[in-house]
Amino acid sequence: MDEAELALKDLVVITGFSGAGKSTAMAVFEDEGYFCVDNLPSEMIRSLIELFMHTGSKVAYAAVVSDLRAGSYFDGLDTMLDYLRVSEVNHRVLFLEADEEALQTRYKETRRRHPLSPHGSVAEGIARERELLDPLRARADVVIDTSGLSAAALRRKLADEMLPTHTPGQLAVTFESFGFKYGPARDPDVMFDVRFLPNPHYERDLRPLTGADREVVEYINRDGELDAFYERLHPLVDYLLPQYLAEGKAHLVLAIGCTGGRHRSVAVAQHLADRYRQRAEYRVEVVHRDVSKPA
């Protein structure tokens, strides 16, 4: 290929299980300025590449989703990957999967039929899909299991693994509160257990409130325990964040857990988010995973 044909700098082929989050993945790349095409038959990938390689094309980054929705046209994806491997096109293959329980739950929530079992059970469709996808999974550059991941968590994971330089010189930090009774945080980089702090749950008037309420924060700090914790926590986080930034990490998840995820962890996560949101080197997000659970 001549110099004009090398305009396409990165092509991402997204495939994997139906219901595993391919639409969310495509949105991540689209937000980063990639030209995206969903449900593209494999035979058309070559034509799209040739279009992008044409003189005058302004598409340097592209992502395509090719999966079993294409029916018989999907059979050629393996051959297309062979073509990409021997070509000079910079490309990566992203494979998304999830365990059977997660996939069945997602189909139940959306009330959609599985494309490989339109008149049968979802379980039958998943089993057939797994058989067909196994060879492609083995060829993927990146495999992500989305079981238990929210859409926001999947977006962060994709940014870390597929777009490591999308915010050079800046660290995206998520402060996430959660309740241990609903399971641990999913893949945090750093985690703090704050169950040693006074628990507002046992106060009838405070139980319906959350850690975002002043009365709850005052109760947690009734004997100065919260202030004492911050005196030790602030220097540690002040040290850690620049280290991760210098190491080149794009996104950091710092999780704070208490029993139910409504009071203590919410108060601490919100406090940290407010503290570091003022600093230009960080892009701060706060997520309260379990705050809406029943008190």
Residue-wise pLDDT for 133-176, tens only, equals: 888 888 899 999 998 788 878 887 888 788 755 445 678 899 99
Is the pLDDT reported for residue 3 higher than 90? Answer: no
Is residue 77 domain-resident? yes
Query: Does residue 56 sit in the same domain as residue 153?
Result: yes
Contact in structure between 46 and 80 (CB atoms under 8 Å): yes
Query: Can you give the pLDDT at residue 46?
Result: 83
- Sheet order of strands, 251-258 included: 190-193, 251-258, 171-179, 282-288
Please tell me the distance from the alpha carbon of residue 263 to that of residue 213, in angstroms, as a whole number: 9
Which tokens is 223 given? Answer: 């004997």
Query: Does residue 281 sit in the same domain as residue 184?
Result: yes
Higher pLDDT, residue 70 or 4: 70
Query: Does residue 110 sit in the same domain as residue 193?
Result: no
Please tell me the distance from the alpha carbon of residue 128 to that of residue 177, in angstroms, as a whole number: 38
Is the pLDDT reported for residue 80 higher than 50? Answer: yes
Query: Does residue 222 sit in the same domain as residue 119?
Result: no
Q: What would the pLDDT profile of 177-215 be if each residue is shown by its tens digit?
A: 999 999 988 778 999 999 999 999 999 999 999 999 999
Listed residues 113, 132, 162: the one ending a domain: 162
Quickly state the pLDDT bin for 71 (edges 50, 70, 90). Answer: low
Query: Can you give the pLDDT at residue 178?
Result: 96
Is the pLDDT reported for residue 118 higher than 70? Answer: no
Listed residues 106, 139, 162: the one ending a domain: 162
Report how many domains make up the chain. 2
Query: Does residue 9 sit in the same domain as residue 140?
Result: yes
Task: Quote the radius of gyration of the chain (alpha carbons, Å).
Answer: 23
Query: Does residue 203 sit in the same domain as residue 127?
Result: no
Is the pLDDT reported for residue 106 higher than 70? Answer: yes
Is residue 293 domain-resident? no
Query: Does residue 140 sit in the same domain as residue 238?
Result: no
Query: Does residue 46 sit in the same domain as residue 149?
Result: yes
Query: Does residue 131 sit in the same domain as residue 187?
Result: no
Query: Can you give the pLDDT at residue 278?
Result: 87
Is the pLDDT reported for residue 119 higher than 70? Answer: no
Percent of the chain with pLDDT over 90: 40
Query: Can you give the pLDDT at residue 195?
Result: 96
Query: Does residue 141 sit in the same domain as residue 7?
Result: yes
Pseudo-torsion of CA 246, 247, 250, 256, nearest 10°?
Answer: -90
Is residue 154 domain-resident? yes
Domain harbouring 33, CATH code: 3.40.50.300
Range of the domain at 182: 171-288
Q: What would the pLDDT profile of 225-244 be if each residue is shown by its tens digit?
A: 999 999 999 999 999 999 98
Is residue 177 domain-resident? yes
Is residue 294 domain-resident? no
Query: Does residue 57 sit in the same domain as residue 110?
Result: yes
Is residue 110 domain-resident? yes
Mean pLDDT for all residues in the chain: 85
Quickly state the pLDDT bin for 117 (edges 50, 70, 90). Answer: low
| Cα dihedral across residues 139, 141, 147, 152: positive or negative | negative
Q: What would the pLDDT profile of 10-62 be if each residue is shown by its tens digit?
A: 899 999 988 888 988 998 888 888 889 988 887 788 888 888 877 667 788 88
DSSP state, residue 163: -
Q: Which long-range contacts (CB under 8 A, 24 or more apart) does 45-49 make?
A: 45/13, 45/80, 45/84, 46/80, 46/83, 49/8, 49/11, 49/87, 49/89
Q: How far is CA 20 from CA 46, 221, 276, in A?
A: 25, 42, 33
Query: Does residue 41 sit in the same domain as residue 73?
Result: yes
Q: What is the mean pLDDT of residues 91-108?
A: 86
Is residue 255 domain-resident? yes
Query: Can you give the pLDDT at residue 225?
Result: 95
Listed residues 142, 162, 182: the one ending a domain: 162
Are β-strands 251-258 and 190-193 bridged in parallel, bridged antiparallel, or unpaired? parallel
For tokens 């040693």, the residue is: 196
Query: Can you give the pLDDT at residue 4?
Result: 41
Q: What is the mean pLDDT of residues 75-90?
A: 81
